Amino acid sequence: MRARSTACGAAAVALLAWATLAVRAQIALPAVLDEFARAPLASGFDENSGHLRNLLRALDIPVESQVLVFSGTSLQNERIAPRLPRAIYFNDHAYVAYVAGSPILEVSLVDRETGFAFYQVEQNATAPTPQADSVCQLCHDPARTGVSRLIMRSHYTDANGRALQQRGQMDQLLFETTDRSPFERRWGGWYVTGTHGSMRHMGNIHGAIDVSHISDPVGYTRTFDLNAGANVTSIASLVEHEPYLTLESDIVALLVLGHQVTVENEVVSVMHALRGSGTSAPPAATVDRDAAVERLVAALTFGGARSLPAAVNGTTDFWRVFEAGGVRDSRNRSLRELDLESRLFKYPVSYMLYSSSFNGLPPAVVEDVYRGIAAALVEPMPGYSDDIRRDAVEILRATKPDMASYLGAMR
């Protein structure tokens, strides 16, 4: 999920070796990782995946959330390839990355001060040893703002999964992935399992030759056939079997992850704006803060999110596991309910309203967001019936009591 130049392979390997020793001892581990390191493991050290299954269990991350990325665009790019993709797992507050044969597992946790905090878990056969990681900020906070964001990108790749790059033409080779991105620009360098009708995306395909033989990367992308990667329900012939917990990269999980990253990064934008909007801040800082809040409201109400051109079906029970985690009202309704026919979610308000990242924002910001969402819900919303909007309001009144007073009568 982090873009790096393919010319930096050797440097990345050296940096990874240093990073496994770069323990910031002055930073205490979060309780969940400290307990993971101390508690008896539910199962033994697996000869292929190491502590991965135990870590996912400790963080309450479902295996069904697994998505696979084969582009060499992370710190461990030399270990990643189409047959050995990087596996990413997630829930509402934690992300875990696993690379076959790596000495570490990567962990990202929501942090109220820095947006996200990064950790490593050493893959040794004895007790797991989590430690803080100061290296990930190099890509997740390149401007050294003190607030880190998530990165989900789509790349054209060569036969080995290395991203195609060309100075001055990166806007045609690299695309940020959000829930607003055109589907035909999503998931390049990722595996995608599931059916989606006429929708086309960049997943499941890569170049046929090494990047060193490609003199015109943009021209070469015209050889990519998006039809070849569409409606793929099995990648068993494309990926090594033994290192992975499952051979799936569920399209529903990818869609949910894209939305979640969109909201998480808008929360981070608000955090960044707040650092310059104190009581003595210039008017421009307040404008930045207000604009960031407006963008967060839009993300939480799916403003600009792409509708689905066709029904979507994944290849795992991710949808079922995801929905089961929702906060429900007395009529068993939840904002985590998926639609998957014409849009991703059934209701026009995001489940991320319950997330630790959002609820870690200052009360004044939370109140402004509540006002913004309430204002959006009282007006007709394209793609949503009045009944669905009314249901959303009722769900919020029942499950977000602190928001109830902001929810007015619908029109």
Q: What is the pLDDT of residues 189-247, one digit of tens each?
A: 999 999 999 999 999 999 999 999 999 999 999 999 999 999 999 999 999 999 999 99
Is pLDDT at 385 greater than 80 in this prediction? yes
Which of 229, 250, 279 finishes a domain?
A: 229
Residue 110 corresponds to which tokens in the numbers above?
A: 């929501």
Mean pLDDT of the chain: 89
223 and 270, same domain (yes or no): no
Predicted local distance difference test score (pLDDT) of residue 138: 66
54 and 115, same domain (yes or no): yes
26 and 162, same domain (yes or no): yes
Query: Does residue 64 lie within any of the structural domains?
Result: yes
Q: What is the CA radius of gyration of the chain?
A: 21
207 and 289, same domain (yes or no): no
265 and 205, same domain (yes or no): no
Query: Does residue 100 lie within any of the structural domains?
Result: yes
The CA distance from 82 to 272, in Å, is 36
Give residue 17's pLDDT band: very low, low, confident or very high (50, 70, 90).
very low
Query: Does residue 116 lie within any of the structural domains?
Result: yes
* Residue pair 129/37 in contact by the 8 Å Cβ criterion: yes
The CA distance from 192 to 231, in Å, is 8
Give residue 174's pLDDT band: very low, low, confident or very high (50, 70, 90).
very high
155 and 38, same domain (yes or no): yes
Residue 100 corresponds to which tokens in the numbers above?
A: 């076959």
- How many domains does the chain divide into? 2
Beta-carbon-side half-sphere exposure of residue 331 (alpha carbons within 13 Å): 10
Weakest mean pLDDT among 29-38, 85-94, 250-259, 285-294? 285-294
Query: Does residue 244 lie within any of the structural domains?
Result: no
Give residue 58's pLDDT band: very low, low, confident or very high (50, 70, 90).
very high
Give residue 364's pLDDT band: very low, low, confident or very high (50, 70, 90).
very high
Residues 6+ apart with CB under 8 A from 22: 133, 134, 135
Domain that holds residue 312: 259-406
Question: What pTM was estimated for this model as a whole?
Answer: 0.90
336 and 197, same domain (yes or no): no
| Mean pLDDT of all residues in 286-290 | 79
89 and 11, same domain (yes or no): yes
Residues 6+ apart with CB under 8 A from 16: 75, 76, 104
36 and 110, same domain (yes or no): yes
Which of 186, 210, 229 finishes a domain?
A: 229
294 and 198, same domain (yes or no): no
Calculate the alpha carbon distances from 326 to 12, 25, 161, 205, 372 in Å. 39, 36, 36, 34, 23
The CA distance from 234 to 290, in Å, is 46
Query: Does residue 248 lie within any of the structural domains?
Result: no
Q: Could you count the other beta carbons within 10 Å of the beta carbon of residue 139?
A: 17
275 and 196, same domain (yes or no): no
22 and 171, same domain (yes or no): yes
Which of 229, 247, 271 finishes a domain?
A: 229
